């Protein structure tokens, strides 16, 4: 079975994660998908395939080299998809022999692939693209990664002449809500190093990501009858608006790129009596992230001076850190991936990912773990697509990396 065929099968599982849930995993559908993956892994020959009580799936492809001892490499992908975009009743179709022109996926919702807006589409001319009907996401983030890892496994079992060492596989829940590594058992996984397979184009190798924090801003107002409110009423919602206005306007996600960090107001609620703002703080440079935290706290101090002590209260929590410091001592992970990509006729490239991955957190948990592309694009949206031939190349890349680590 080819990787894209597996991806199509996996779209039937409605695995949106839920940030408001208190369970692990956050949705029961991920358990259903995880158990299906365990059964598939066993059918391929992965005898120890198992899903633990928290919804993490683990398995081992045993070395087929006699008396082998060496570097145990791992491959990891996540089972959940975002829930901000419809993820149920996914209908896929294939655009065969893409001609490089604009593709209207869904006219009613104005969902299209436009090469003027997406210059990388030219790289896929003459290839086949897997899309939806434009009413849902595809879920290639990250079911494409799962499909490629298990297609790699199938190929290795079908072709014992491909010699490899011990390979570890894992699939995580709740990556999209920042909890994918929370209960990952690094010791049980048993790899020396790993790659997440959770990126975009074939050839992408990511070893830099944001440092991330979140800030909750709580505002306490004073509510009173509006007819007698003079010098008494303190409107918490208006103070919340004032707080937002004091942040630099150009340092929002919609105005930033590459290594530029930002403040992102992603949730707000309020009344006259009380209000709450929730911010995402991001920067590739850790010292700059600390500066962003200081700005948030400084605005709170200024507003407390203006409206009274304890009007504004701030809670800041670190979420994850840039993995580059954990990857540099193990640069062979990047060199090996680059070498394998070139041998497959690709051009390796790296760019800072403007987000986080399970691998970033796992790198700080003792498992250095850069990220590889999956041959898919436009994640988290209705225009998401995967290139069938690029997915095949990604499978070849995983096999080649595994073979290279057999001799390390």
Beta partners for 326?
none
Positive or negative, the Cα torsion across 39, 157, 138, 18? positive
Token readout for 161 is 């002449």
Q: Which of 14, 40, 80, 141 is catalytic?
A: 80
Which candidate, 219, 246, 232, places its Cα nearest to that of 304? 219
For residues 239 and 212, what is the distance between their CA atoms, to the nearest angstrom? Answer: 25
pLDDT of residue 213: 96
For residues 317 and 178, what is the distance between their CA atoms, to the nearest angstrom? Answer: 13
Is residue 176 flagged as an active site residue?
A: no
pLDDT of residue 356: 84
Given a contact cutoff of 8 angstroms between Cβ atoms, the answer to whether 16 and 142 are in contact is no
* DSSP 8-class letter at 268: E
pLDDT of residue 408: 80
Given a contact cutoff of 8 angstroms between Cβ atoms, the answer to whether 322 and 207 are in contact is no
Which candidate, 109, 88, 114, places its Cα nearest to that of 385? 114
pLDDT of residue 287: 97
Q: Which of 175, 198, 283, 384 is catalytic?
A: 175
Is the pTM here over 0.85, yes or no?
A: yes
For residues 151 and 3, what is the distance between their CA atoms, to the nearest angstrom? Answer: 6
In CATH terms, the fold of domain 211-319 is: Alpha-Beta Plaits (3.30.70)
Q: What is the DSSP string of 8-51?
A: HHHTTS--B--TT--SSSSSHHHHHHHHHHHHHHHHHT-TT-EE
pLDDT, tens digit only, all 408 positions of the chain: 999 999 999 999 999 999 999 999 999 999 999 999 999 999 999 999 999 999 999 999 999 999 999 999 999 999 999 999 999 999 999 999 999 999 999 999 999 999 999 999 999 999 999 999 999 999 999 999 999 999 999 999 999 999 999 999 999 999 999 899 999 999 999 999 999 999 999 999 999 999 999 999 999 999 999 999 999 999 999 999 999 999 999 999 999 999 999 999 999 999 999 999 999 999 999 999 999 999 999 999 999 999 999 999 999 999 899 999 999 999 999 999 999 999 999 999 999 999 888 999 999 999 999 999 999 999 999 999 999 999 999 999 999 999 999 988
Is residue 384 flagged as an active site residue?
A: no
3-208+322-406, superfamily in CATH? Zn peptidases (3.40.630.10)
- Listed by start position, the domains of the chain span 3-208+322-406, 211-319
What tens digit of pLDDT does each residue of 126-165 get?
Answer: 999 999 999 999 999 999 999 999 999 999 999 999 999 9
Domain 3-208+322-406 shares a fold with domain 211-319: no
Q: What is the DSSP string of 339-397?
A: HHHHHTT---B---BSS--HHHHHHHTT----EE--SEESTTSTT-EEEHHHHHHHHHH
């Amino acid at each position: 079975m080819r990787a894209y065929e597996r991806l199509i099968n996996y779209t039937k599982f409605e695995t949106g994660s839920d940030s408001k849930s208190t369970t692990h995993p956050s949705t029961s559908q991920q358990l259903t998908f995880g158990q299906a993956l365990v059964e598939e892994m066993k059918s391929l020959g992965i005898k120890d395939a198992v899903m633990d009580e928290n919804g993490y799936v683990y398995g081992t492809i045993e070395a087929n080299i006699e008396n082998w001892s060496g570097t145990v490499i791992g491959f990891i992908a996540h089972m959940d998809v975002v829930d901000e975009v419809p993820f149920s009743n996914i209908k896929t179709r294939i655009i065969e022999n893409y001609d490089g022109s604009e593709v209207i996926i869904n006219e009613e919702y104005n969902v299209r692939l436009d090469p003027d807006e997406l210059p990388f589409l030219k790289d896929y001319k003459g290839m086949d693209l897997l899309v939806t009907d434009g009413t849902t996401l595809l879920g290639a983030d990250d079911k494409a990664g799962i499909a490629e890892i298990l297609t790699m496994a199938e190929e290795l079992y079908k072709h014992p002449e491909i010699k490899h060492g011990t390979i570890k596989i894992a699939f995580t829940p709740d990556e999209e809500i920042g909890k994918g590594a929370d209960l990952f058992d690094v010791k049980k996984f048993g790899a020396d190093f790993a790659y997440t397979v959770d990126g975009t184009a074939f050839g992408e190798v990511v070893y830099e990501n944001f440092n991330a924090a979140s800030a909750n801003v709580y505002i306490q107002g004073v509510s009173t009858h509006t007819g007698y409110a003079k010098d008494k009423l303190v409107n918490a919602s208006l103070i919340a608006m004032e707080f937002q206005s004091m942040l630099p306007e150009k340092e929002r996600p919609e105005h930033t790129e590459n290594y530029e960090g930002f403040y992102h107001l992603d949730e707000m609620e309020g009344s006259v009596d009380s209000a709450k703002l929730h911010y995402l703080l991001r920067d590739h440079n850790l010292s700059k992230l600390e500066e962003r935290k200081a700005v948030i706290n400084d605005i709170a101090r200024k507003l407390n001076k203006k409206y009274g002590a304890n009007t504004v209260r701030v809670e800041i929590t670190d979420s994850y850190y840039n993995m580059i410091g954990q990857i540099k001592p193990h640069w062979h992970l990047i060199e090996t991936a680059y070498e394998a990509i070139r041998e497959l006729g690709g051009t390796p490239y790296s760019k800072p990912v403007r987000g986080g991955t399970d691998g970033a957190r796992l790198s700080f948990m003792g498992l250095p773990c850069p990220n590889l592309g999956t041959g898919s694009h436009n994640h988290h949206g209705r225009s998401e697509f995967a290139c069938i031939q690029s997915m095949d190349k990604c499978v070849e890349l995983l096999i080649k990396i595994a073979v290279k680590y057999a001799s390390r």
